[in-house]
Amino acid sequence: MRLMTVPKTKKISHKPRLGPRSLDLALLFDKFIQYWAGKAEVEFVDQALDRPLDEILEVCVSWKGSVTGTLVIRCYSEFLKWLAANRGPNSPHELNDNQSFKEMGSLYCVYLIQNYWLSSIFELGLVLPHFSTVQDWPQGPSNSTCRLRVEKNPVEIRLWID
């Protein structure tokens, strides 16, 4: 697709987005997983479903700073096993499946912040991962969502920006 130049005389008025779009979440997660595991097959499916999947595990990562938000990553236990088995060779110590999931959620959250918002004036407080359920989610609809398959494992990502 060719990019078209907008004439200088034409004013564009739009409200800036507060956060990444669904495809941005997916593309950054793909890059992050390549860092985590070396080479992995990541396939973008679409936006997350309105109704969450049942019997799924999720890690919720909240942060405060110049931008405050909550990131939820949801998957089945098979993905946790894959994460733990495919940690890069530079990992300093062994982690169990649950610890690997929390570490991955925290690191992806920081990666997302660095790639989307980080500037010389950005402030970032604590990044706190914890296991959660749908009842723990922020009120209202998420700002962006995506569903992926990582080595055939379904993964769902939801992001709320305060």
User: Is residue 136 in some structural domain?
Assistant: yes
Number of domains in the chain: 1
Task: Kindly state the DSSP code that residue 94 receives in the 8-state scheme.
Answer: -
Parent domain of 111? 22-161
Quick check: is 79 in a domain? yes
Is residue 84 classed as helix, strand or coil in its secondary structure? Answer: helix
Q: Domain for residue 73, yes or no?
A: yes
Asked, for residue 16, whether it belongs to a domain, the answer is: no
Other residues' Cβ atoms within 10 Å of the Cβ of residue 85 = 10
Q: Is the pLDDT of residue 1 over 60?
A: no
Region 114-135: mean pLDDT is: 83
CATH code for the domain in which residue 143 is found = 3.40.1550.10
Percent of the chain at pLDDT exceeding 70:
78
Q: Return the SS3 of 55.
A: coil
- Binned at pLDDT 50, 70 and 90, residue 78 comes out as very high
Whether 153 maps to a domain, the answer reads yes
Contacts of 136 (CB under 8 A, 6+ apart): 60
CB contact at 8 A, 32 and 86:
no
| Model confidence at 140: pLDDT above 50 | yes
Please give the span between the terminal C-alpha atoms of the chain, in angstroms, as a whole number: 34
Q: Could you tell me if residue 66 is inside a domain? A: yes
Q: Quick check: helix, strand or coil at residue 80?
A: helix
Q: Is residue 7 part of a domain?
A: no
Q: What is the pLDDT of residues 16-32, one digit of tens each?
A: 456 788 889 999 999 99
Whether residue 10 is contained in a domain is answered as: no
Taking the CA of residue 84 as centre, how many other CA atoms within 13 Å lie in the half-sphere pointing to its CB? 14
pLDDT band at 45 (very low <50, low <70, confident <90, very high): confident
